[in-house]
Structures are given as C-alpha cells and as structure tokens.
C-alpha cells in the first residue's frame, strides 16, 4: 500500500488530540470514523466540529460548501467496529494506559482489512508493546502528533524492531499529505525525540525552582526571552497537565526502578493537591489572576 491509496482513516479516542486529528484528516480530504466509548467526549467532539468549521468559513479559510463537504466526511461514534470498518489507516489516541491500548489494538486488528496500518499516537509507550497483540506487527508503529494537532507541524514516526520499512514510509508520506513535517526515529527510545529534550529542560527548571534559584515566572521568562521558546516549562506543564506529567514520570520510575526517575517533590505535591494546571484552574499559575 502507498499513502495515496489511503481513503478512510479511523481515529480511536475523541478527546482533545483525537478530535483534532480527526478534523485534520477530514480537512485533508479523508473519510474519518472517530470512535470513543465516552459519550461526553463524543458530544464535545461534535461541538468542536460544529464550531471549528463555521469559524474557518468566517475567517475566509474555506467556503460554506467546503465546510459542509468536510463535515460529511467526519463521523463520531461509540462503535469501534463501525469506525474502523474498511479503514486503510488507524490512529489510536486513547488514554495513556497500556492495557487499554492493547485492547484497542486487538479489536482494530480484528475489524480492519489486512492491508491497513495501525498506529498509536502515544507520546511515551512504544509500539512494540502493542504489535505482538496483533496479527500484523509489521504494520504497526508510533505516529505521535503534538498538541494542538491541527496547528503543530511536527509528527514523530517511530519504527519498532517489528515495523516494516514500507509501513514507516507510508506513515511518513501520509503525514506529509496531512500537511505535517514528520521526523523518523529508526529505533524505539523512551520519550522519543521532543519529549526527551523537553524532559531535560523541565527537570532542570524544577531543580532550579526547588533550590530557590529563581521563581517559576522568572525561569519561564528566561526560557521564552533568551531561548525563544513559545512557552516556558512551567506554563507548558500547566497547559499539558501536571497530572499527566506525574503519571508519565511515575510510569517511567516503575519501569526503571531508578530513584532519579521519580517525579520531583513539586510535581508530587501539586498532583496530590489537585493543582493540575489550566484544567483545574491552578498549577504553577493561578488562571483567575494570571496576566499574560
């Protein structure tokens, strides 16, 4: 199969990443089935589509006819078999829980045609943890988008030892057809490229904060104004969710058993307090009073 042969895309997960990836694929001309068992997430995804497309029309980015045609290509359902039936390519964007992803991959392998490629959008879990649960390990790889998926250009394509060269190439080419700039990792490594670099920055920022060297605000300001990052590390952790930072770090620690992989005391404290960032109204910043 070539990337040009892809006609229908299945996205599993209708959360923030899932519904944006679904919209991206529909805007790029593909029929899209987006599945989720959470009816609230499906409702939010429907509302996003009902807002996003008219917004693009209002900005002159597309005509009403184009918006209507895109909406026709996009379906949201709680029936995974319906969403994946006859799909040529799948992107799993479910919660970062290995047991859940294994269950999804088993079902996709059962429902999708033999030629179809199945990818995971996971930012940390490598596809070799999933490929053996299917009858098509050579057609499995990571395809990691960045948030917001509609805007961010980078996509990390990660080959596992099971991934065929053709699968990696089709996934790279498909990413380009979605308007992205993919990067290829020739081997699996925890955290891939971007998150490994980000983790190093975040760990150092947390160390500087905990040692009393500078405030979160001043560390963020230095990173933005000296290194030209769009967001400082603390603002970024607030945006992505301190709870996510905690769970990912704990998963790494549980896998390695190394003390240096434990979440920092600051992250643990904020997680326990429910100060998870923007989603909870408070993290390193207070979102009622924070001034940009």
Q: What is the pLDDT of residues 199-210, one digit of tens each?
A: 899 999 999 999
How confident is the model at residue 57, as a pLDDT?
97
Domains and CATH numbers, the chain: 3-185 (3.40.50.720), 194-280 (1.10.1040.10)
Active site residues: 123, 144, 156, 195
Q: What is the pLDDT of residues 84-124, one digit of tens each?
A: 999 999 999 998 889 999 999 999 999 999 999 999 999 88
Q: What is the pLDDT of residues 45-98, one digit of tens each?
A: 999 999 999 999 999 999 999 999 999 999 999 999 999 999 999 999 998 889
> The whole model's pTM is what?
0.86
Asked if pLDDT for residue 291 goes beyond 90, the answer is no
DSSP characters over the chain: --GGG--EEEEE--SHHHHHHHHHHHHTT-EEEEE-S-HHHHHHHHHHHHHHHHHHHHTTSS-HHHHHHHHHHEEEES-HHHHHTT-SEEEE---S-HHHHHHHHHHHHHHS-TT-EEEE--SSS-THHHHTTSS-GGGEEEEEE-SSTTT--EEEEE--TT--HHHHHHHHHHHHHTT-EEEEESS--TTTTHHHHHHHHHHHHHHHHHTTSS-HHHHHHHHHHHH--SS-HHHHHHHH-HHHHHHHHHHHHHHH--GGGSPPHHHHHHHHHT--BGGGTBSSSBTTT---
């Amino acid at each position: 199969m070539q990337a040009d042969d892809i006609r229908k895309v299945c996205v599993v997960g209708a959360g923030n990443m899932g519904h944006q990836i679904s919209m991206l694929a529909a805007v790029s001309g593909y029929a899209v089935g987006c599945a989720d068992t959470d009816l609230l997430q499906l409702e939010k995804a429907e509302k996003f589509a009902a807002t996003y497309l008219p917004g693009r029309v209002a900005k002159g980015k597309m005509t009403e006819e184009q918006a209507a045609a895109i909406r026709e290509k996009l379906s949201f359902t709680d029936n995974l078999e319906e969403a994946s039936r006859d799909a040529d390519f799948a992107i799993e964007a479910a919660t970062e829980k290995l047991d859940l992803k294994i269950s999804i991959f088993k079902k996709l392998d059962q429902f999708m045609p033999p030629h179809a490629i199945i990818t995971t959008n996971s930012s940390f879990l490598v596809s070799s943890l999933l490929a053996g649960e299917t009858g098509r390990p050579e057609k499995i790889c990571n395809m990691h988008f960045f948030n917001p998926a509609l805007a961010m250009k980078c996509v990390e394509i990660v080959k596992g030892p099971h991934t065929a060269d053709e699968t990696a190439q089709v996934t790279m080419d498909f990413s380009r057809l979605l308007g992205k700039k993919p990067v290829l990792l020739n081997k699996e490594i925890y955290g891939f490229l971007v998150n490994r670099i980000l983790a190093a920055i975040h760990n150092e920022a947390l160390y500087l904060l905990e040692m009393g060297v500078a405030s979160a605000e001043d560390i963020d300001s230095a990173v933005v104004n000296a290194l030209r990052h769009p967001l400082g590390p603390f603002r970024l952790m607030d945006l992505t969710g301190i709870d996510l930072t905690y769970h990912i770090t704990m998963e790494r620690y549980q896998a390695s058993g190394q003390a240096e992989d434990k979440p920092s005391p600051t992250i643990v404290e904020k997680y326990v307090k429910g100060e998870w960032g923007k989603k909870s109204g408070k993290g390193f910043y207070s979102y009622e009073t924070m001034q940009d």
